[in-house]
Structure 1
Amino acid sequence: MDNLVLVAKERKEAGKAVAKKLRNVGRLPAVMYNSKGEAVMLDVDEGEFTKLWKIATPTTLLTLDVEGKKSLVFIKDTEYDIKTDKNLHVDFHVIDESKKLKRPIKVQVTGNPVGVREGGVFESGIKEIQIECLPKDLPVRLVVDASDLTLGSEMFVKDIKLPKGVKVLSDNDAMVACVRTMQ
């Protein structure tokens, strides 16, 4: 998912009527917030945004091209209409590439544990952890292999092999996965 780019246009008008007009022509109202909380009103192509939104995770970085000026952003929030299956509004947050980020990241457990093949029961623990790193080091998810878990063994956050530059902020003793004996 490297280098996802979304083109945006700056807009001056706000309000429900303006938002409705934009949506009627396939544009999605948006706001881009900088680190100082200042907002710039934008609109983006609804179809292009939806394509990106469907593959984005909370750690996906996008390049937002606003009339030639490019910014690295996260999708901060979306307003979604379940009846029409469409996004109604999106907020972007600009990232400073030189500053570390604190973000939640999914932990994906893979493998068929030895202990399960020996009759044990697999239990998963936490599904995500909080990490800190520079934007360039931000992983999409952490994949951990539970194949070596034996009966009665556990895997903790401290056992996860992290990519270079990534620091865990969550409890290192939180359980990620274990294999329990049948009772």
Structure 2
Amino acid sequence: MSEHKISATGREAAGKGASRRLRRAASIPAVLYGGNAAPQSIQLEHEKTWLASQNEWFYSSILDLDLDGKVQKVLLRDIQRHPYKQIIMHLDFQRVDENQALRAKVPLHFLNQEKSPAGKTAGVVITHELNEVEVSCLPKDLPEFIEIDLGALAVGGIVHLSELKLPKGVELPELKLGKEHDVAVVIAKHGKEEAVDAAAPEAAEVPAAKVAKKEEK
């Protein structure tokens, strides 16, 4: 688990009016909650936080939040963005207890797709049914991402959730719900154009059969 640090300061004013004033001052209103402490209103510098938000780790890693000089472990739980401007409107952070397991969504990284038999076959489409998965683990074991090696993926091949290679101490809660939750993560299949071409001869026979019936009448 890598260390990533962000800074914040406490704030007393709350409400929509106070939040608007913060945004005009290039700050982001946020809330820190969880653990044994009460929820706390905080604020972060927009520019620095925006730059941090361009990194994948901002969403899936345990963050070191420096709040008025005191560092505590947190996890980003929600981010609200402006509908069309590059502005972060609000953030929710959850305090992390290093001795308690947590659940978090982790991105998937797909490796060697182009080198696989499926990737080298013309007309084959490889779809990523999932781009992230929810994991359960202690904070110290939380991975920034999970890699999936597709080097051996064949045409018609499917990679299921249960086939992911997880780091030590990491589990997938979804798999505990039953076999029907062992969903496909990656599927390699022929594209639509090829499927349409294959169906074309049969489609051509139907009108011909109808014409023959009409002539008999």
Assess same fold via TM > 0.5: yes
> Which residue number corresponds to residue 137 of structure 2?
133
CA RMSD, Structure 1 to Structure 2 (Å): 2.4
Deviation at 1:119, TM superposition (A): 4.8
Tell me the distance in 2 between the aligned counterparts of 1:76 and 1:118: 41
Q: From the CA coordinates, give the structure whose radius of gyration is larger.
A: 2
Report the CA distance shift for 1:154/1:19 in structure 2 as closer, same or farther (over 3 A).
closer
> Which residue number corresponds to residue 121 of structure 1?
124
Asked if the contact 1:120–1:151 (Cα under 8 Å) also holds between the matched residues in 2, the reply is no
CA-to-partner distance for each residue in 1:48-78, whole Å, 9 max, x for gaps?
A: 1111122145312211111122111122222
Bigger fraction of residues in helix: 2
State the TM-score, normalized to the length of structure 1.
0.85
Report the CA distance shift for 1:152/1:76 in structure 2 as closer, same or farther (over 3 A).
closer
Amino acid at match of 2:103: K
Gaps of 5+ in 1: none
Aligned residue pairs, count: 183
Tell me the distance in 2 between the aligned counterparts of 1:114 and 1:40: 53
Asked if the contact 1:126–1:174 (Cα under 8 Å) also holds between the matched residues in 2, the reply is no
1:178 aligns with 2:187: yes
State the TM-score, normalized to the length of structure 2.
0.73
> Which residue number corresponds to residue 50 of structure 1?
50
Asked if the contact 1:4–1:52 (Cα under 8 Å) also holds between the matched residues in 2, the reply is no
Deviation at 1:28, TM superposition (A): 1.7
Asked if the contact 1:73–1:92 (Cα under 8 Å) also holds between the matched residues in 2, the reply is yes
The range that moved more, 43-52 or 106-115, is: 106-115
Tell me the distance in 2 between the aligned counterparts of 1:174 and 1:90: 31
Bigger fraction of residues in strand: 1
Asked if the contact 1:120–1:179 (Cα under 8 Å) also holds between the matched residues in 2, the reply is no
Taking only the aligned residue pairs, the percentage that are identical comes to 25
1:56-135 to structure 2, matched below 5 A, reads: 56=56, 57-111=58-112, 112=114, 113-119=116-122, 121-124=124-127, 125-135=129-139
Select the residue among 151, 171, 175 that pairs with 1:167.
171
What secondary structure is seen at the aligned counterpart in 1 of 2:110?
Answer: strand
Report the CA distance shift for 1:26/1:167 in structure 2 as closer, same or farther (over 3 A).
same
Q: Which runs of 4 or more aligned residues in structure 1 lie more than 6 Å from their structure 2 counterparts after TM superposition? A: none
Tell me the distance in 1 between the aligned counterparts of 2:81 and 2:106: 22
CA-to-partner distance for each residue in 1:10-38, whole Å, 9 max, x for gaps?
A: 11121233223322332221111123683
Report the CA distance shift for 1:67/1:132 in structure 2 as closer, same or farther (over 3 A).
same
